[in-house]
Amino acid sequence: MNLKTALTQDTISLHLKGTTKEEIINELLDILVKANKVQDRPAALAAIMDREQKMSTGMKHGIAIPHGKSNTLQNLVACIGISDNPVDFDALDHEPCRIFIMTLSPLEKTGPHLQFLAEVSLLFKSSEKRNELLNAKSAEEVFKVLSE
């Protein structure tokens, strides 16, 4: 499981409107619901928020990776959202985030979940990639940056 297979252009959103962690999480979840990737929104939200309460998924370099596991899913699903404005996400480096990657996976399938998170963390060590994403003008551009 990698970014290219988990994301589609309809699971990429530019210009997120949320100004809080909860608003961003809900907005990302709406992307997955609209794309028919998540059928049980309340269960998905509970899984994400449960994980978030254990430890913030705000990473470093303006990136947050809200994620969770739910028995209501058959396969890993993911979306990416980019905000024009920095959002406080309780990140490890105490910096606000603008790039958000949400992933949800089935409870019993650990491998794809860990592989996906590892790939995401590697990708975003590159300041060049982060800047390309922040400057992308379309979902197609985001997809292209992630595919390179």
Distance CA 71, CA 15 (A): 31
Tokens of 1: 């499981």
Give ∠ CA 48-9-75 in degrees, rounded to 5: 45
Yes or no: say if 104 and 71 are a contact pair by the CB < 8 Å rule.
Answer: no
Tokens of 51: 């994980």
Residue 35: how many CB atoms within 10 A of its CB? 15
For residue 94, indicate whether it is catalytic: no
In the set 15, 61, 67, 113, the catalytic residue is 67
Among 7, 81, 2, which Cα is nearest to 37's?
Answer: 7
Distance CA 113, CA 75 (A): 10
Catalytic positions, written as ranges: 67
